[in-house]
Amino acid sequence: MQEILDPEACTTMIEVRAGVDAVDAALVALLKRRFGYMDAAARIKPERGHVRDEARKAQVIDNARAHARAAGIPDAAIGDMWETLVEASIAYEFEAFDQR
């Protein structure tokens, strides 16, 4: 099995790609957990109309952008990714709500 190096220690593209693949697998695991919280929200919210909350959506995206800025990565790109993530989460939550 390929050892996963920190980015600063990589000297070959094989090492870089192994690191990217490992991070992607970890991100998917975290997204699975995040979508689990959408299942919980669908179970807890009393009405379907409560699924979409624009104020909370804005707060989540603003938080992600702030974390990105603090981490020194492009906050606009993170904001765009979180827009997509939050919309996908809302759609998933609607489906989960409708199935209960």
Going by C-beta distance under 8 Å and a sequence separation of 6 or more, which residues neighbour residue 56?
Answer: none
Task: Give me the residue label for tokens 């765009």.
Answer: 80
Domain CATH for 79: 1.20.59.10
Banded pLDDT at 2 (limits 50, 70, 90): confident
pLDDT in tens, 31-57: 999 999 999 999 999 999 999 999 999
Give me the sign of the Cα torsion angle 95, 65, 62, 78. negative
pLDDT in tens, 15-27: 999 999 999 999 9
Domain that residue 52 falls in:
10-99
DSSP 25-46: HHHHHHHHHHHHHHHHHHHH-S
22 near 6, Cβ under 8 Å? no
Q: Which residues are annotated as a binding site for substrate?
A: 17, 34, 45, 93
Structural domain count of the chain = 1
- Name the pTM for this structure: 0.91
pLDDT in tens, 58-90: 999 999 999 999 999 999 999 999 999 999 999
Q: Which residues are annotated as a binding site?
A: 17, 34, 45, 93
